[in-house]
Structure 1
């Protein structure tokens, strides 16, 4: 369903059927009650004449509607359309969710996506029903509600953690969006309380969700000092705008169809102002906004990979918490085994990463930032000289700002800029597009492992064009056959 053209009759059919697949894709505004709901709200379906439909929670709020207290419409995965289209609106939404407007204002957001502030405001209002400030305000309200309900943090700390500039703004927004005070919101729902210094959240993902296989991929690629993993869990350090942090995720399978599942995430942050950025980056890692039903329905009947899709429904494309790190790690891993790449990356982390104190055994460093690697003599890196020069050239481009991997620039522009760098070819540029930029339609036809799996399936001459626009997921199904399991049961 296109974001810019919500057909009322189609939306209403989804609402009548309580179809959870559309949660986060659009919102239902009810004129008779003044509230907005997710499509699957369990309340009685209002009459067609009394409802309208909007593409974002911010659009509903801007139109004067308040969030339903029963279905909590803001607690949904985001629209999968943002990654598929990757247009200006989608790229801007990713940056807003990362807290960029709170840190750099609308001017900073407009600069990242290459538009003037006025033009960007018009475009977002046309596409999403609200301008950048309203979209950022809706995100702050959602973060605040989660913190109010699930932590013991004081309201002042929550206000600044959610990105509000004052306690007054925080109180007014909560009252306007949820029709209750922060105190009433905390008392109304019994959430899980967390120890001092940690923030525990439940991150929404659509089902089916192959969390165990996502964990297997992450565990197979862990870099010593930066990441650790075990049976059912994964943890890593986070280099955030105001300071370091860590996250620990509980990852398991939920194979229900068209429901909303939740991944438990425990954050430890040096500065609570980084809460929104930390959450958004981990959601990107989880591919949380994926619509697995649409992906699987498209691929499941394919004669080559259909059996793989049926065997692992809800497989995700692992994202990233830092695009620069993903790109550097990809170059490090060129033409070496995964084990070899992990070892080399671990040595680089130990030599050039920033040490951090954490409560998680094994998490000792932040991955080196681009500026630190740009200053390294490539001859000293533990890899062939040509690859060392490629790492330093990439880091130099990232640190200078001539290359950005924060999902703000256009994907094709990023690809061309990467290919202009020495030592970076199509495989590396496309892999970075898939993981760092969230591109759902990348296929690495020259990957040796992929060719081997395809040969075993009898699909050497398969027409991968038929897998569009989900070729990245098809690729993951092929790689998944080679991934060792972290589960003790296996």
Structure 2
């Protein structure tokens, strides 16, 4: 058991609530007060259980090769955005008269990220223009058919999400999604498998955005979602997201994507954190831990 420290404050409900609410069954789950998921690592595979505590995150790793422990820890810290500076973020957002009450109410919001950027990008495309329940169903089918099987005596995890090299070998016609989505998905998979697009944390964010936007069927929502949660750009902002636009209108902010993006310029370079505050104004499962520590790997539709 490891303890992952972080700089306080940290809003655990919004962070873990989002991960639990968007979990893909078999790959992720919320069980006994912990977010659990499978990992693909350089030398093997693993399972991590992350349990929020008042002053740290409990991290229990089960690895096929112990040489992967440092990589696994780094990915978990990245997933939970534990190296963020919440004081700097909140200080700037608090200067905005609309966001100030939200920051006062819940300081220390983090951006839920991912342990695998390629996996997240594939899931983002699967989630385009459909309810999250439908996107999760598509992702689950992909996992069951093509993921790497895992044994999990402690829970209900069954697979590691398939890597892009595996997905690149599939016949696109076998995927039960609309043709436009299929074209977008396999264009992305092809680019990732050929290393034409680099989604690693050290990549050029502007270049990646441009490369993604050139792919068929990849629009601003997908580009900024990937920038926010896969690339880790703290300034990414999904002005076209319906939940963001609804929250903006309710708060008296502009409701159109272009006007909202212009208004959000005042939140630079922390617009991704402003987005978390906007999403949190909605009464939704992503904003709270599962009630009573209930075990789950699926809930109602949510942002990606």
TM-score computed with the length of structure 1 as normaliser = 0.56
- How far, CA to CA, are the matches of 1:345 and 1:330 in structure 2? 10
Q: Counterpart in 1 of 2:124?
A: 330
User: Does residue 1:343 correspond to 2:143, yes or no?
Assistant: no
Please state how far the C-alpha of 1:231 moved relative to its aligned partner: 5.8
Q: Counterpart in 2 of 1:143?
A: none
Please state how far the C-alpha of 1:263 moved relative to its aligned partner: 0.8
Q: Secondary structure at the match of 2:231?
A: coil
Q: Counterpart in 2 of 1:474?
A: 274
5 Å matches for 1:399-438? 399-438=193-232
5 Å matches for 1:273-352? 273-352=67-146
Deviations along 1:415-473, one digit per CA (max 9) or x if unpaired, are: 11111222111221111111111100011111111111111111126611111110000
TM-score computed with the length of structure 2 as normaliser = 0.89
Q: Is the 8 A contact 1:404 1:414 kept in 2?
A: yes
Q: Counterpart in 2 of 1:388?
A: 182
Greater Cα radius of gyration, structure 1 or 2: 1
Please state how far the C-alpha of 1:330 moved relative to its aligned partner: 0.4
Q: Is the 8 A contact 2:109 2:273 kept in 1?
A: yes
Q: Counterpart in 2 of 1:244?
A: 45
Deviations along 1:381-420, one digit per CA (max 9) or x if unpaired, are: 1211111121122111111111121223211111111112
- How far, CA to CA, are the matches of 1:232 and 1:327 in structure 2? 27
Count of aligned positions: 284
Which of 6, 10, 13 is 1:212 aligned to?
A: 13
Q: Is the 8 A contact 1:240 1:277 kept in 2?
A: yes
The Cα RMSD (Å) is 1.6
- How far, CA to CA, are the matches of 1:360 and 1:480 in structure 2? 32
Please state how far the C-alpha of 1:223 moved relative to its aligned partner: 0.3
5 Å matches for 1:1-80? none
Q: Counterpart in 2 of 1:452?
A: 246
User: Does residue 1:221 correspond to 2:15, yes or no?
Assistant: no
Structure 2 unaligned residues grouped into runs of 5+:
294-304
Query: Using CA pairs below 8 Å that are at least 6 residues apart, which structure has the higher relative contact order?
Result: 2
Q: Is the 8 A contact 2:125 2:181 kept in 1?
A: yes
Q: Counterpart in 2 of 1:363?
A: 157
User: Does residue 1:354 correspond to 2:159, yes or no?
Assistant: no
Q: Counterpart in 2 of 1:265?
A: 59
Structure 1 unaligned residues grouped into runs of 5+:
1-199, 255-260
5 Å matches for 1:152-171? none
